[in-house]
Structure 1
Amino acid sequence: MTTPNDPYNQGGQPQQPGGYPQQPGGYPPSAPPLNESELRAPARPKSVDTAYMLWLVAAGIGIISNLISFLTAEEIARETLEAAGLPATSVEPSYGGTVFSLILTVVWILVVMQMRKGANWARILLTVLGGLAVIGNLLSLLLIGILFSIGFLGVLQALFVVVSLVAIIGAIVFMFKSDSNYYFKAS
């Protein structure tokens, strides 16, 4: 077994197989305490802060674009009906989608804040929602002719679609850089 001169046997305690001192109740010794660097959360990298800012830019553009769509909804509905060859005598635009989009933007901002804190679930959710937003923005670009035909506000909406598309793609890329991956795994 062990000898009294065994450097691992402190105080002449009975030994378990493998040379560890026997603990009360037959349990192996506890793990050493964590040092200060292991207890601190990892520092947030610049790529996560950049993704955070890009998400906020995209959300801000979404809010402004939704407010503009309140003003242009009737004109867009009229232009769409005329482009389809239907009479546009009395147009009643739907504002439900715009209100729903504003509510989703508020939830989106809350998820972005969780992503900045290191929540990996928020990063995954933002990636899925961002992918859907990219598809939606690409589909919106199909209506660019209608947006340009309604004047300045339509051109502004088209510009917002392009800027939002770039911001969302950039945010997704920055969330998955190597230093960001380490941050989300360590958080």
Structure 2
Amino acid sequence: MSESPDYPRYPDKPESPASAGPVAAPARPGTIEGAFWAFVASTVLGLVGGILLFVNRDALVDTLRNADRQRGGTLTGAQIDQAATITLVVSVVIVVLIAALYLLFAFKLRAGRNWARIVLTVLTALHVISLLTAQDTILGYLAALAAVVGVVLSFTGPSNAYIAASRSR
């Protein structure tokens, strides 16, 4: 008697489709590849922006000096320089950590993980909101644009089908 799709599948029965071995990974669509590379571009732009903080060190020192003067001018020049250095180092460490996590999520999206797509969408939304509430550099705007492109690509029809197929594996 041949087995029809309505009958239960028994893994230990040799002719059962369930015993055929692991299911092949679905083909990754171009939209997922495009989303992945858009998130990588966004990450690179963010890293470059973080590194460029060092170029703007003098502007940071001037800002700290002006803020100190408005509060009464209690800090010495060495203290202001030290505060600027600490601020820059902490900022770069944070940028690198965020970039590493962003890349991890991009690779997980590429592997078909829906949770990574959701996390990247939330992070992109927060990035765009931060652009609306604060000034940023042109690199910040370009990074946000690349991330938005990545989110849009990750929610297209082929991307949805790929993630659904990856989930069922």
Same fold (TM over 0.5): yes
Check 1:130–1:29 CA distance in 2 against 1; reply closer, same or farther (3 A cut).
Answer: closer
Q: Please give the TM-score of this superposition, normalised by the length of structure 1.
A: 0.66
Check 1:138–1:73 CA distance in 2 against 1; reply closer, same or farther (3 A cut).
Answer: farther
1:1-187 equivalences in 2 (<5 Å): 30=10, 32-33=16-17, 39-79=23-63, 82=66, 86=70, 90=77, 91=80, 92-93=83-84, 94-95=87-88, 96-141=90-135, 158-187=137-166
Cα distance in 1 for residues equivalent to 2:103 and 2:53: 20
Contact 1:134 1:168 in 2 (8 A): no
Q: Highest CA radius of gyration, 1 or 2?
A: 1
Choose between structure 1 and 2 for higher RCO, CA contacts under 8 A separated by at least 6 residues. 2
Residue 121 of structure 1 and its aligned partner are, at CA, apart by 1.4
RMSD across aligned positions (CA): 3.1
- What's the secondary structure of 1:173's corresponding residue? helix
Check 1:103–1:29 CA distance in 2 against 1; reply closer, same or farther (3 A cut).
Answer: closer
Residue 74 of structure 1 and its aligned partner are, at CA, apart by 4.1
Instruction: Deviation per CA, 1:145-182: give whole Å up to 9, x if none.
Output: xxxxxxxxxxxxx2202211211111111111111111
Percent identical residues? 26
Residue 98 of structure 1 and its aligned partner are, at CA, apart by 2.6
> 5+ residue gaps in structure 1?
1-7, 10-19, 21-27, 145-157
> 5+ residue gaps in structure 2?
none
Q: Please give the TM-score of this superposition, normalised by the length of structure 2.
A: 0.72
- What's the secondary structure of 2:25's corresponding residue? coil
When structure 1 is superposed on structure 2, of 85-94 and 70-79 the one drifting more is: 85-94
Cα distance in 1 for residues equivalent to 2:9 and 2:44: 55
Instruction: Deviation per CA, 1:116-138: give whole Å up to 9, x if none.
Output: 01111111111112212222233
Cα distance in 2 for residues equivalent to 1:166 and 1:41: 31
Cα distance in 2 for residues equivalent to 1:177 and 1:100: 31
Instruction: Deviation per CA, 1:50-103: give whole Å up to 9, x if none.
Output: 111110000000111111112314413524764898369743321213311211
